[in-house]
């Protein structure tokens, strides 16, 4: 491919880097790009779409097709279409007719490009297309490709010389879901219509290498491998808390005595029926942070829980207290904070907020910025809070059908201790050099191209 892509009389300034050039030169009918973030996969896909649309617009024998050339650009959500729409408008502003509401543009030669969202089941059913582009496919509904999209490519007369539509599918990986299976097609020599690539972020020569080092330092191991190295990770093989044994440190006294001028953060996870209420206190004065107190209350009435938690808090006089606010949390916090002298940051648990605090805790353990108390038994360190240690060891993650991560205890087990520790550490991240702080929810009680 030359350094410019022509659409009829339109010239678009575009200089593909070497990886993008490999994609443009490929003769495969189906191209699958597994890329790290900021590699330029969206621009590469858009330019490949325009290149093939221009070539097909110049073919003879297409006069009976309405429109002469039809292409779809598909994203998992309507929001993710905005960047592509901005790209099309910027590059084709003097050549195309844009229909904003329908997210459709028309080019000379009766070429139509439609931008489609895959949010709703059945929303991608329609007429046959000459070219199909799918971005961030790993986040798309699992049934979308087989049930809706691939059928758009078999209409008579569509595709180069009427031989069938083309497709380019890109994504940053999200586990080994349907996008992984599609990528494997391109690695199979028995499937010559397919070609696939795996491009880490660093293979984009325009990326500042400092950006990659910052990601390595400030993201979890799993996130870095997926988002930067473009690796497919089997979640069944991935530990949530890496290097957990390295967090164990022998102590002479447990719990230790509070130290003057030290800062402590406390997390409270309230127990519901069958669960425990847990208080953890972490010394966040300097790194590595240290677990200094732990209280787990089972089958204790709430008024007694609150009294015992208040006594522990009065011992440590924490810099900040982060209690879970959901459900039963509201009345318990109200009771806990009568005459409360400590800074309070109630935490509302949702899947998104839980992911943030769990991944912050993951990062602290991976970077060995968190210490758990232990006693030495021969050459072995035994954690002095075994219920917390085993909860962390058993803690699991899984992918939803849309590629999103969820964290929870395995069936039949609990995560109260993990959540309490994650709450206590959620504020501590602001003291880790190079780690972005989680936005505190202080309350006075009473993603170049992706």
Percent helix, strand, coil in the chain, to 5, is 35, 25, 45
With respect to residue 234, please indicate whether it lies within any of the assigned structural domains.
no
What pTM, to 2 d.p., does this model score? 0.67
Q: Which token pair is 339?
A: 């005459």
With respect to residue 440, please indicate whether it lies within any of the assigned structural domains.
no
Total domains in the fold of the chain: 2
Q: DSSP string spanning 420-436? A: HHHHHHHTGGGGSTTPP
Q: Determine if the peptide bond prior to 288 is cis (ω within 30°).
A: yes
Are 183 and 277 within one domain? Answer: no
Among 227, 254, 283, residue at a domain's last position: 227
Are 327 and 376 within one domain? Answer: yes
With respect to residue 342, please indicate whether it lies within any of the assigned structural domains.
yes
What DSSP element (H or E) covers 178? helix 178-185
CATH number at residue 345: 3.30.420.240
DSSP β-bridge partners for residue 31:
168, 195
With respect to residue 211, please indicate whether it lies within any of the assigned structural domains.
yes
Range of the domain at 336: 239-431
Per-residue pLDDT of the chain (450 residues; tens, 9 = 90+): 444 444 446 778 889 999 999 999 999 999 999 999 999 999 999 999 999 999 999 898 898 899 999 999 999 998 999 999 999 999 998 889 999 999 999 999 899 999 999 888 777 888 899 999 999 999 998 888 988 899 999 999 999 999 999 999 999 998 888 999 999 999 998 999 999 999 999 999 999 888 888 888 778 788 888 899 999 987 654 568 878 899 999 999 999 999 999 999 999 999 876 678 999 999 999 889 999 999 999 988 889 999 999 999 999 999 999 999 987 778 999 888 888 899 999 999 888 889 889 989 998 998 889 999 999 888 889 999 999 999 998 888 877 766 677 888 888 888 999 999 999 998 765 444 343 444 444 333 332 222
Are 251 and 215 within one domain? Answer: no
CATH number at residue 157: 3.40.50.300
Among 194, 227, 260, residue at a domain's last position: 227
Are 25 and 83 within one domain? Answer: yes
Are 306 and 398 within one domain? Answer: yes
Are 212 and 277 within one domain? Answer: no
């Amino acid at each position: 491919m030359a350094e410019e892509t022509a659409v009829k009389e339109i010239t678009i300034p575009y200089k593909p880097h070497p990886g993008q050039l490999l994609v443009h030169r490929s003769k495969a009918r189906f191209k699958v790009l597994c890329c790290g973030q900021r590699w330029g996969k969206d621009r590469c896909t858009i330019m490949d779409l325009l290149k093939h649309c221009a070539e097909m617009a110049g073919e003879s024998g297409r006069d009976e097709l309405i429109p002469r050339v039809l292409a779809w650009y598909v994203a998992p959500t309507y929001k993710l279409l905005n960047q592509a729409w901005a790209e099309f408008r910027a590059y084709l502003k003097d050549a195309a007719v844009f229909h904003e509401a329908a997210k459709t543009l028309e080019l000379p030669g009766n070429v139509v490009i439609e931008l489609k969202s895959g949010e709703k089941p059945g929303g991608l059913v329609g007429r046959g297309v000459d070219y199909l582009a799918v971005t961030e496919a790993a986040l798309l509904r699992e049934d979308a490709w087989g049930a809706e999209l691939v059928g758009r490519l078999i209409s008579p007369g569509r595709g180069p010389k009427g031989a069938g539509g083309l497709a380019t599918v890109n994504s940053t990986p999200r586990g080994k879901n349907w996008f992984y299976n599609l990528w494997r097609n391109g690695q199979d020599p028995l499937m010559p219509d397919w070609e696939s690539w795996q491009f880490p972020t660093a293979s984009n020569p325009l990326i500042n290498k400092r950006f990659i080092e910052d990601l390595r330092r400030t993201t979890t191991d799993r996130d870095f491998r997926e988002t930067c190295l473009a690796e497919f990770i089997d979640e069944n093989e991935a530990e949530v808390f890496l290097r957990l044994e390295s967090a164990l440190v022998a102590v002479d006294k447990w719990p230790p005595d509070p130290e003057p001028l030290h800062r402590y953060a406390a997390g409270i996870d309230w127990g519901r029926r069958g669960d425990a209420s847990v208080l953890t206190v972490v010394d966040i004065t300097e790194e590595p942070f240290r677990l200094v107190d732990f209280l787990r209350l089972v089958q204790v009435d709430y008024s007694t829980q609150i009294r015992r938690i208040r006594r522990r808090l009065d011992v440590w006089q924490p810099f900040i207290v982060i209690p879970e606010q959901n459900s039963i949390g509201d009345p318990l916090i109200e009771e806990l904070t009568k005459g409360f002298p400590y800074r309070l940051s109630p935490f509302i648990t949702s899947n998104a907020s839980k992911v943030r605090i769990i991944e912050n805790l993951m990062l602290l353990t991976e970077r060995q910025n968190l210490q758990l108390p232990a006693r030495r038994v021969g050459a072995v360190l035994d954690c002095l809070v075994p219920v917390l240690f085993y909860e962390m060891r058993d803690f699991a993650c899984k992918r939803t059908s849309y590629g999103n991560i969820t964290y929870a205890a395995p069936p039949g087990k609990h995560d109260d201790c993990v959540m309490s520790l994650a709450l206590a550490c959620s504020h501590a991240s602001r003291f880790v050099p190079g780690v972005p702080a989680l936005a505190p929810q202080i309350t006075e009680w009473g993603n170049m191209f992706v």
